[in-house]
A and B are shown apart, each in its own frame.
Chain A
């Protein structure tokens, strides 16, 4: 795998534009899922993932070939997503009361969705709920949790991606996990 990736990168560096498509195909799912779990909105995640690949392409000369490419790429994706979250204006919350009304929220304005088979609804709802609770975490815990549990990366890799010491990664995972536990314990 690593040898294959290195070969492709060498090709890209020599100006083989099309070779880059192979890299995108190899990593698009992982990169997309990192962005998706960090920002939750599929369309935004897709844009951020594309941007991450474009930046990887334009900076391919800066990538040190001896290091793991995925670490470098995930770092770009994580930083872009966190920057995005930082800049994003706080969105209108559905359950915020509409000013000038008495107890009306945006929920009451939404048409009820098509009914789904019951177990599918449950599964869908659980996923939605967990995703929302992850989103409630402070960004620094969220990135550590996403990289560890969704990408299944080692502490060392997470420390390289986030550019923080392994001990700090551990602390963030512990705290993030504790915060999530308190939110998710009442299933």
Chain B
């Protein structure tokens, strides 16, 4: 006789140990009278025990060593905590990069410590070794910038005189219409650069309007 599908479902529940007591009693009462279901149940039981009866086999002796030999090199992560730290603090990292590059740039400018004199504007100067001489009667219309040298002003400078690591031998207020700026410390020198950048922007701004 073909049993109800429900009975098969209960049989599965019994096998899976999910049947209620009532269902279990109902099922065992049923297989007492139904040989088809009894056989089905016993066959499934036998199947389970045959499959469960498969022996647990051991892997080969050298299994662990073989795995360890094939592993890639130890973790990189723990070797580079700096990398992880940088990933967690991107802004500090960016600021540090900026400072390193900027200071490198400024330092290289500072380190060009050879004698150098620039006239930003019109006018001629004379040189005597590392001394810049503005001759008598000469008028420089613009700024005079001297690095690592000396300046002797006998004529006139209608502008600023900037002395970077330099000294002025003779300069009275009458000879220079602008300021005499003396830049000896690196911080001052940087400050001077920053100021000049802003002055430049201001000039552009002025020209623009």
Contact = CB atoms under 8 A, between A and B. Distances in A.
Interface stretch (A1-9, A14-22, A80-88, A110-118): A14-22
What does DSSP make chain B's interface, helix, strand, loop or mixed? helix
A32 B63 contact: yes
A29 B59 CA distance: 6
Contacts, number: 102
B112 interface: no
A130 B56 contact: no
Contacts of B77: 13, 15, 61
B74 interface: yes
Interface stretch (B46-54, B122-130, B197-205): B46-54
Interface string B115-156: 000000000000000000000000000000000000000000
Interface in A137-187: 145, 149-150, 170, 173-174, 177-178, 180-181, 184-185, 187
B64 A25 contact: yes
A46 interface: yes
A177 B67 contact: no
B67 A53 contact: yes
Interface of B: 12, 15-16, 40, 43-44, 46-48, 50-60, 63-64, 66-68, 70-72, 74-75, 77-79
A127 B57 CA distance: 12
Given A24-B68, A28-B64, A17 B48 contact: no
A28 B59 contact: yes
B75 A150 contact: no
A54 B59 contact: no
Nearest to A51: B70
A75 interface: no
Contacts of B59: 28-29, 32, 46, 49
Contacts of A53: 67
A114 B32 CA distance: 47
Given A24-B64, A181-B43, A181-B47, A131 B74 contact: no
A184 B54 contact: no
Contacts of B56: 29, 33, 150
B75 A149 contact: no
B79 A174 contact: no
Given A29-B59, A149-B51, A150-B51, A50 B70 contact: yes
B54 A50 contact: no
Interface in A22-38: 24-25, 28-29, 32-33, 36-37
Contact of A184 (B50, B58, B64, B71): B50
A39 interface: no
B71 A127 contact: no
Contacts of B63: 24, 28, 32, 46, 49-50
